């Protein structure tokens, strides 16, 4: 991915996460209404409190993405967060757009993984390829 | 709500831009200069600081302030009238200061810094948003 595209995506998704966090802070109960009854029943705390926790998480993810620090971690947590959102609220007319945010988070994570981690994956792949018998055509 | 959402979005873009400039300055690296090519000249000129504080730090604080004030106004945390007044004062002051900085680049330093011009445009756009929302 080109660095310019990476930074445009990073800032765009950061703004989305922070802004959603701010909006949840405004009306946590209303946002809690998106939860499916089975998911709301699993919560050990009131919905409003759970939504405020979600808002704080959203803002934290957005801030890390915005200031370009621990992007891989923020994007990973963001992607997991979006999967949970899609699971507990279902894919509706509104949450269908979260699929785009999810894929962007995955792309940002893949692009910003620490070098030590990508080196490890490469060495595993090499080891696997070396141990494999040659292909017969 | 829409105007505050726009102000918040612009301030977030500004925060990302200022963090980039601060990081390159601290790391003693040259920032990428997509248009103009005079970023380094402008950013290392004697005009790059107000007293002893670098302009990028002042810009960052400004953008953070605008982001917080717009968020407070959206969430409806009082005193909203006072926050709105602060927002107007900050944006008016920085828009005028940006005019001065653009003049400096044009006539005094005679070099253009992409990031500085982009930041100036961001503040002017914020000014336009405030004016339009006041009229509407």
For residue B54, what are the β-bridge partners?
B49
Q: Look up the domain containing B102 and give its range.
A: 2-135
User: 3-class DSSP state for residue A67?
Assistant: coil
Report how far residue B102's alpha carbon sits from residue B120's, in angstroms, rounded to the nearest whole number. Answer: 7
Residue A95 tokens read as 């949450």
Give residue-wise pLDDT tens across range A94-135. 788 899 999 999 999 999 998 888 788 888 888 887 776 666
CB contact under 8 A, B9 and A22: no
For residue B53, what are the β-bridge partners?
B50
CB contact under 8 A, A14 and B12: yes
DSSP class of residue B106 equals I
* B55: CATH: 1.20.1440.130
B19: chain A residues, CB-CB within 8 Å: 66-68
Burial of B23 from C-beta contacts in 10 A (0-12 / 13-18 / 19+): middle
ipTM of model over 0.85: no
Report how far residue B98's alpha carbon sits from residue B76's, in angstroms, rounded to the nearest whole number. Answer: 30
Give residue-wise pLDDT tens across range B120-130. 999 999 999 99
- For residue A60, give the nearest of A89, A22, A4 by alpha carbon: A22
DSSP class of residue B53 equals E
Chain A interface residues (partner B, CB cutoff 8 A): 7, 10-11, 14-15, 18-19, 22-23, 25-26, 66-68
A66: chain B residues, CB-CB within 8 Å: 12, 15-16, 19
Task: Give CA separation, B31 vs A30, A35, A115, B25, in Å.
Answer: 44, 45, 23, 8
Report how far residue A57's alpha carbon sits from residue A20's, in angstroms, rounded to the nearest whole number. Answer: 10
Give residue-wise pLDDT tens across range A39-79. 888 889 999 999 999 999 999 999 999 999 999 999 999 99
Number of domains into which chain B is organized: 1
* Sequence spans of domains, chain A: 3-131
DSSP class of residue B108 equals I
C-alpha radius of gyration, chain B, whole number: 15
**Which among A11, A23, A26 is the nearest to B16, CB-wise?**
A11
């Amino acid at each position: 991915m080109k660095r310019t595209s990476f930074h445009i995506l990073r800032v765009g998704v950061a703004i989305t996460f922070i802004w959603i966090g701010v909006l949840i802070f405004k009306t946590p109960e209303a946002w809690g209404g998106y939860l499916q009854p089975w998911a709301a029943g699993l919560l050990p705390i009131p919905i409003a409190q759970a939504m405020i926790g979600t808002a704080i998480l959203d803002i934290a993810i957005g801030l890390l993405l915005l200031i370009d620090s621990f992007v891989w971690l923020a994007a990973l947590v963001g992607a997991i967060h979006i999967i949970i959102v899609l699971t507990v609220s279902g894919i509706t007319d509104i949450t269908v757009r979260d699929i785009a945010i999810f894929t962007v988070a995955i792309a940002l994570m893949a692009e910003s993984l620490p070098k030590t981690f990508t080196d490890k994956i490469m060495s595993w792949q090499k080891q696997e390829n070396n141990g494999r018998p040659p292909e017969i055509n | 709500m829409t105007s505050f959402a726009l102000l918040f979005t612009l301030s977030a873009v500004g925060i990302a831009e200022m963090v980039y400039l601060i990081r390159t300055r601290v790391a003693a690296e040259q920032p990428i200069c997509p248009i103009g090519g005079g970023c380094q000249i402008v950013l290392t000129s004697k005009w790059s600081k107000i007293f002893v504080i670098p302009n990028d730090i002042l810009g960052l604080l400004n953008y953070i302030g605008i982001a917080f004030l717009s968020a407070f106004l959206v969430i409806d945390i009082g005193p909203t009238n006072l926050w709105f007044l602060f927002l107007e004062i900050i944006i008016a002051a920085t828009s005028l200061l940006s005019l001065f900085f653009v003049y400096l680049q044009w006539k005094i330093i005679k070099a253009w810094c992409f990031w500085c011009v982009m930041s100036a445009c961001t503040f002017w756009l914020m000014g336009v948003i405030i004016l339009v929302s006041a009229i509407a």
